[in-house]
Amino acid sequence: METTPFKESDPGLPVAGRAAELAKEYKALSTKWLRKRGAWQIVDRVAAIEDIGELADNIGYAPFATAEQKLKVLLEADRPARLEYALGLLREHLAEEEVNDTIRKDVEDGVAKQQKEFLLRRQLEAVRKELAELNGEAGLGGSEDADYRARVEAATLPEKVREAALKEVDKLERSSEQSPEGSWIRTWLDTVLELPWNERSEDAYDLAGARAVLDADHNGLADVKDRIVEYLAVRKRRADQGLGQIGGRRGGAVLALVGPPGVGKTSLGESVARAMGRSFVRVALGGVRDEAEIRGHRRTYVGSIPGRIVRAIKEAGTMNPVVLLDEIDKVGSDYRGDPAAALLEVLDPAQNHTFRDHYLEVELDLSDVVFLATANVMEAIPEPLLDRMDVVRLDGYTEDEKVAIARDHLLPRQLAKAGLAAEQLTVDEAALRRLAAEYTREAGVRNLERAIARILRKVAAQTELGERELPAAVGADDLRALLGRPHHVPEAAQEPTERRTAVPGVATGLAVTGAGGDVLYIEASLADAETGSTGLTLTGQLGDVMKESAHIALSYLRSRGAELELPVTGLRERGIHLHVPAGAVPKDGPSAGITMTTALASLLSGRKVRTDVAMTGEVSLTGRVLPIGGVKQKLLAADRAGVTTVIIPKRNEADLDDVPAEVLERLTVHAVADVREVLRLALEPAEVLVAAA
């Protein structure tokens, strides 16, 4: 132990005075130390010692001094120096004891506080218990933990859920107030108790009334309306016959509404819930990339919550709501898991009666829930997930359906938003038809509603400025003044020289995109023989499958050139360029095969493609026309574009049953099996060219 070094004397202080000061301080510190140890009988003896040498020798009795330090005191001959050294040892020991006393006091204060809090809580619990007994509420009073036990016992929970909840209450009662596990358990118990385990809505079995509700809310969409009515009919028959669940399952429906934007997929969910008399809740899945969003987080994570499915059931307040899984094709996956894979159990009617959320860790019966999933592109939905759903395609509206929707739904809604009454402004049917045909060419009705809103805003502004008086009417001839020139003029309505197919080598195809069906033009040109370029050049952001279709079309024409009377011998020295306009838009798929073949045949023969003809179909190397998908959407797109003749594969003839009758009346559809038939129907006769020349 380091001590203060010896000092022979202080020049400014006489020896006698210095010794007296040291003796006084030594006695004071010794008295303090002895009193802390309880040695009261020695205090007086030390105070009575006058000799400073004898006073310094008392350090030899101190237990904190080492043998070496005691020997050093005895060997020091100078008595003041000896006393000063002993005083230094005493000072250091007392300073060390003060630090230890401070630490000990802090620890004792903390323990005393915990003991005091424990005793007060026990007393509070006893007081609450006494008050509950006085008020006749025995068994319901007590601590917060006892309140949870009473709530669990009073709740109507399934047996397994009750057992799990009581186990958590036992853990809560054994845990201390400072334990973070207590707050986790309370949050879990609150979630379990708030779920509507035994709450169910009574289905409205008035099938005619349900169909009337669906028809009033949406025009068309017969397939999904029929599916809901069929579901209710089966439920009604089982209820009338007293039949219960099917193998523990209640037979809920899982429907996938697939179609372009704006056809009413999302709003259809609310109509279905209203028709069935059930609660409705929407779960937005667009951009969800974390599996825990569907199945919940484990309770060990800070801030863990149940998944979106459990939260939807809690929000609905019943165990049999209509849950709309919106934009299911926009679900992504990354390092946090695949939410689409987590939906497999949710949407599987054979499994969802025992769905387990990671947060709840108890079985939740979802078999009575009607799930409606919406998507724009069916190919973007994983195949295992798609296999668990009944797919209902919404391929867009015809022009007549758009006019009816605009008249019955869109116009009244926009009139209310614009602050106009129905008798103040009328938009006649001719104006609505022209809006749908020439201003907003789309599969749905969103742009049509925007166009109607723009008309009403302009009328409202003109009225406020005094430029127009109400009541007023808007006709087809007024649209140009209100909205400007039409954006979508049919190809057939243009001048013959302005049409795309006015020159050989251009053919009209039909395609399907995420926004519905659309018209696709394919252009072909021959390189000059003097340039020396050969081969096939493809542009327009084409995918691998579409590029292969172009090579197949060229190979077929080269092999059958003599039969088709096409000059293909000179292609060795001349290159062919095939372009699909809208080059910024990626395109892929085999359905443009016969369109590419027709464009190349038109280029080589010099015969133009008919303006009123559009086509779709895959071509094989032997010239067969193979089936494709999306026939209904493509025919609707052809009808919107003003095309009157459509060529489709022979094996797609059965798909015509899904096309509205009024569309088929306006179109002439040819189902072909061979490319030769396509060329015969699509190319203008050679004699027409001679006459024109």
| Half-sphere exposure for 259 (CA within 13 Å, toward CB) | 26
pLDDT (tens digit per residue) in 360-415: 888 888 888 888 899 888 888 888 888 888 888 887 787 888 888 888 888 999 99
Please choose, from the candidates 491, 482, 438, 433, the residue with its C-alpha nearest in 3D space to the C-alpha of residue 456.
Answer: 482
Contacts of 529 (CB under 8 A, 6+ apart): 570, 573, 574
How many Å apart are CA 236 and CA 204, to the nearest integer?
9
Per-position b or e across 575-594, b if 16+ CB within 10 A of its CB: bbbbbbeeeeeebebbbbbb
For residues 35 and 327, the model is more confident at 327
When mean pLDDT is compared across 116-125, 130-139, 477-486, 597-606, the lowest value belongs to 130-139
Q: Of the ranges 2-16, 114-128, 216-230, 545-559, which is most confident?
A: 545-559
Q: Of the ranges 81-90, 353-362, 496-505, which is most confident?
A: 353-362
For the chain, the C-alpha Rg in angstroms (whole number) is: 45
| Half-sphere exposure for 510 (CA within 13 Å, toward CB) | 30
Question: Positive or negative CA dihedral for 660, 665, 667, 668?
Answer: positive
Please choose, from the candidates 403, 399, 506, the residue with its C-alpha nearest in 3D space to the C-alpha of residue 449.
Answer: 403
Q: Which fold has domain 399-483?
A: Helicase, Ruva Protein; domain 3 (1.10.8)
Residue 452 is predicted with a pLDDT of: 92
Contacts of 517 (CB under 8 A, 6+ apart): 395, 396, 443, 510, 511, 630, 633, 634, 635, 636, 637, 638
How many Å apart are CA 623 and CA 607, to the nearest integer?
20
Six token digits for residue 182:
């207590």
Question: What are the domain boundaries of the chain?
Answer: 1-136, 144-194, 207-393, 399-483, 495-692
634 burial type by CB count under 10 A (0-12 exposed, 13-18 middle, 19+ buried): buried
Please choose, from the candidates 451, 404, 444, the residue with its C-alpha nearest in 3D space to the C-alpha of residue 266.
Answer: 444
pLDDT (tens digit per residue) in 466-503: 888 888 888 888 888 888 888 876 655 555 556 677 78
pLDDT (tens digit per residue) in 314-342: 998 898 898 999 888 888 777 777 888 88
Residue 285 is predicted with a pLDDT of: 87
- Can 399-483 and 495-692 be said to share one CATH topology? no
How many Å apart are CA 59 and CA 371, to the nearest integer?
90
Residue 691 is predicted with a pLDDT of: 42
3 state SS of 536: strand
Residue 637 has pLDDT above 80, yes or no: yes
Q: Which fold has domain 1-136?
A: Methane Monooxygenase Hydroxylase; Chain G, domain 1 (1.20.58)
Per-position b or e across 652-675, b if 16+ CB within 10 A of its CB: beebbeebbeebeeebebbbbebb
519 burial type by CB count under 10 A (0-12 exposed, 13-18 middle, 19+ buried): buried
Residue 689 is predicted with a pLDDT of: 42
Q: In 175-264, which ranges are continuous DSSP H helix? A: 180-194, 207-217, 222-240
How many Å apart are CA 212 and CA 693, to the nearest integer?
61
Q: The pTM is what?
A: 0.67
Residue 532 has pLDDT above 60, yes or no: no
Q: Please identify which residue in the block is written with the tokens 């696709």.
A: 520
Residue 529 has pLDDT above 60, yes or no: no
How many Å apart are CA 656 and CA 50, to the nearest integer?
127
DSSP per position, 465-532 = TTSS-SSEEE-GGGHHHHH-S-S---GGGS-GGGSGGGSTTEEEEEEEETTEEEEEEEEEEEPPGGG-
Residue 85 has pLDDT above 60, yes or no: yes
Top CATH class, 495-692: alpha beta
Q: Pick the catalytic residue from 225, 402, 608, 634.
A: 634
CA angle 363, 365, 367 (to 5 degrees): 145
**Catalytic residue flag (residue 105):** no
**Catalytic residue flag (residue 333):** no
Residue 281 is predicted with a pLDDT of: 92
pLDDT (tens digit per residue) in 2-20: 444 434 444 444 545 667 7
Average confidence score pLDDT of the chain: 79
Our separate counts of H helices and E strands in the chain read 27, 18
pLDDT (tens digit per residue) in 135-155: 655 444 445 556 778 888 888
Contacts of 106 (CB under 8 A, 6+ apart): none
pLDDT (tens digit per residue) in 171-201: 877 776 667 777 888 888 888 888 888 888 8
Distance of CA 617 to the CA centre of its chain: 36
When mean pLDDT is compared across 425-434, 521-530, 585-594, the lowest value belongs to 521-530
Residue 451 has pLDDT above 70, yes or no: yes
Residue 7 is predicted with a pLDDT of: 43
Residue 617 is predicted with a pLDDT of: 92
**Hey, which CATH number is domain 207-393, 3.40.50.300, 3.40.640.10, 1.10.3720.10, 3.40.1710.10?**
3.40.50.300
| High-pLDDT (> 90) share of the chain, % | 5
Q: Pick the catalytic residue from 30, 591, 602, 605.
A: 591
At residue 652, φ and ψ (nearest 5 deg) are: -100, 10
| DSSP class of 587 | B
